[in-house]
Amino acid sequence: MKRFVARRLMQGALTLWVVSVVGFALMSLVPGSYFDEARLDPRLSPQTVEAMRNRSGELRTLPQRYGEWLVSCFAGEGGYSVVYQVPVLHLMLPRLVKTAQLATAGLALSWLTALVLGAWSANRAGKHAAAVADWLTSVLAAIPELVLACGLMLIGLYAGLVREDNLTIPALALGMGGIPALLPQVRAGLRQVADAPYLELAWAHGIRGWRFTLLFWLRAAANPLLPLLGLSVGTMLSSSLVVEIICGWPGLGPLFLSSVETRDSHVALAVVLIASGLLITANTVTDILQAAADPRIRESS
């Protein structure tokens, strides 16, 4: 098990490093820079713009810039924002907390709904529940994420829920958007193991209700559901950036959009790396949990 964990951690670190190299190269090769527009600002003298450009390291070669950026990452700075004139990590940490709050709330809402409706509709006597689950999946899948978020924002305005510190509307938009992808998969995973002898034995011993679902059924379905958890984390992170922009939530989404518009490459790259790192971490953790639950995975690896 230790070798399996070490191998997965090394694979995750290597993947993140490759993402950093490719992302840095692509953003460096984009024509133009922040300083091209800064020269047009009458409030900044040419000497000031040139000094800022020298400080950013734009005149150095691509390997030199990547090396300096990598050193700054290990120093806890993550590069330098040419727009805000501060180290990138100092700028991003408060927004990362906000994004983590939103993604966690949306993930909890979508998974709780998918597990409850999935278990209810996958039950032997859950024909009506299956119809409700199919209807809910179809309706939510038919509504674009942009329309769903705007509609919830409109409802929130009338209900007085749209405030900068109120997580209700963004979390609802994010969580409801993730239900159509999760619910059919959760129900299929539960149906896949519904006839397992382990569950038949528990049922024969008179174990019923949510005790049976939580302690036996979901445990038996851990193998098909755990990979889905890692995938849903990545989906939530990417969707949260869009929801934040629409709902005005002060997370990484608005910062990423503004960094792309102003060509603040270190900030944009930091957002990409944070999202990739969280996705890699989620997949690594789910792989480890899956290997812990099923020894066959460790042996095959």
Residue 157: give its domain's CATH number.
1.10.3720.10
Residue 87: strand pairing partners = 80
Of 141 and 209, more confident: 141
Answer yes or no: is 293 within a domain: no
Give residue 143's pLDDT: 81
Is residue 29 pLDDT above 80, yes or no? no
Which residues fall within 8 angstroms of residue 192, CB to CB, at 6 or more apart?
221, 224
| Model pLDDT for residues 107-125, shown as the tens digit of each residue | 899 888 888 887 777 765 5
Answer yes or no: is 195 within a domain: yes
Q: DSSP characters for 80-144?
A: EETTTTEEHHHHHHHHHHHHHHHHHHHHHHHHHHHHHHHHHHHSTT-HHHHHHHHHHHHHHHHS-
Stated as kind and residue range, the H or E segment containing 24 is helix 2-29
Angle, vertex CA 41, rays to CA 39 and CA 43, nearest 5:
115
Distances (CA, A) of 155 to 67, 102, 148, 239: 49, 19, 11, 20
What mean pLDDT, rounded, does the chain reach?
79
For the chain, the domain total comes to 1
Torsion sign over Cα 14, 16, 17, 19: positive
Answer yes or no: is 140 within a domain: yes
What pTM does this model have?
Answer: 0.78
Answer yes or no: is 91 within a domain: no
Answer yes or no: is 59 within a domain: no
Answer yes or no: is 85 within a domain: no
Of 65 and 198, more confident: 65
Gap between the terminal Cα atoms of the chain: 10
Q: Identity (one letter) of the amino acid at 159?
A: A
Q: Give the integer Cα–Cα distance in Å for 145 and 289.
A: 31
Give residue 147's pLDDT: 83
Rg of the chain over CA atoms, in angstroms? Answer: 24
Distances (CA, A) of 205 to 201, 294, 296: 6, 25, 28
Residue 86: strand pairing partners = 81
* Structure tokens given for 28: 């460096």
**Averaged pLDDT, 161-186:** 81
User: How would residue 194 be classed by pLDDT, with cut points 50, 70 and 90?
Assistant: low
Residue 46 backbone phi and psi in degrees, to 5: -60, -35
> What residue numbers bound the domain in which 106 lies?
101-261
Of 267, 8, 238, the residue nearest 107 (C-alpha): 238
Of 245, 105, 118, the residue nearest 172 (C-alpha): 105
Give residue 296's pLDDT: 59
Neighbouring C-beta atoms of residue 6, cutoff 10 Å: 10
SS3 175: helix
| Model pLDDT for residues 78-116, shown as the tens digit of each residue | 888 888 888 888 888 888 888 888 888 988 998 888 888
Helix 127-142 / helix 88-122 crossing angle, nearest 10 deg? 150
Torsion of CA 129, 135, 138, 144, to 10 degrees: -110
